[in-house]
């Protein structure tokens, strides 16, 4: 999949942007998305009305306790920017022993997931329409078995690289939420962004690269191919996976 395909299809567009309403040293804050709303279908609008109470989680709670969200204690996976949710639903269906919390700001994608979750009667999937940064602040430390960020907006132009999501301040927020040996999994189809992400993650002392040779990882079996990725592979486009684990501090 090329960059244009990513910009078109992965419309979650999670990135770091500037807040021009705040002056001085605080003029740059972390915000995980730029909203690009598409048109919702009638079914997707219905899903928000009829399915949100079961599968949706409202932002704003003081703390998001995983056991409260799912009514059980199980390994919890957080996906930031799930797009149309195709792979998120597939993972929840394939791994009922795990719980999945997806964050997205693209309402048509959320509506699509709500419809799929209802049709498949998934008890281990919840979704939020919220800024990932705010959700991270609500999640307890050491509560996540895995954080996955698949195909974040690559912002390919050099002058826009500052808007990319995977940067040191954001990763610093992610690490404490992982339990020990919990994994951070990022995938992109933009080669320049892949090398940038790899360098950012390598520089975090609390993270260890689990790939052989300390480079890019093979796609784990749990990450399904989306239809856009399958099309991209047929066209010879490459995808880079990066898989890091939170390591125990040295004594």
Q: What CA dihedral angle connects 27, 30, 34 and 40, to 10 degrees?
A: -130
Assigned token pair, 233: 């592979």
Q: Where are the alpha helices (DSSP H) in the chain?
A: 3-9, 42-55, 66-70, 86-94, 107-120, 132-138, 168-174, 191-202, 227-234
H or E, element range at 149: strand 144-150
Residues with active-site annotation: 153
Contact 194, 215 (CB under 8 A): no
3-state secondary structure 81-104: CCCCCHHHHHHHHHCCCCEEEEEE
């Amino acid at each position: 999949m090329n960059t244009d395909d990513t910009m078109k299809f992965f419309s979650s567009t999670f990135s770091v942007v500037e807040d021009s309403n705040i002056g001085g040293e605080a003029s740059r804050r972390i915000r995980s998305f730029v909203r690009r709303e598409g048109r919702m279908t009638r079914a997707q609008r219905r899903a928000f009305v009829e399915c949100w109470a079961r599968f949706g989680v409202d932002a704003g709670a003081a703390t998001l306790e995983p056991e409260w969200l799912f009514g059980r204690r199980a390994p919890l996976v957080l996906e930031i920017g799930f797009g149309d949710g195709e792979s998120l639903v597939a993972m929840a269906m394939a791994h009922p022993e795990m719980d999945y919390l997806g964050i997205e700001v693209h309402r048509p994608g959320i509506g699509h997931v709500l419809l799929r979750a209802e049709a498949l009667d998934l008890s281990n999937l919840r979704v939020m329409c919220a800024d990932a940064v705010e959700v991270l602040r609500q999640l307890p430390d050491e509560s996540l078995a895995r954080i996955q960020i698949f195909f974040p907006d690559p912002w390919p132009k050099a002058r826009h690289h500052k808007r990319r999501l995977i940067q040191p301040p954001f990763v610093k927020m992610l690490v404490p939420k992982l339990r020990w040996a919990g994994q951070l999994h990022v995938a992109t189809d933009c080669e320049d962004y892949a090398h940038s992400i790899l360098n950012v993650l390598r520089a975090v002392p609390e993270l260890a690269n689990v790939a052989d040779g300390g480079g890019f990882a093979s796609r784990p079996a749990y990450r399904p191919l989306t239809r856009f990725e399958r099309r991209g592979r047929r066209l010879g486009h490459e995808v880079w996976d990066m898989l890091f684990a939170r390591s125990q501090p040295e004594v």
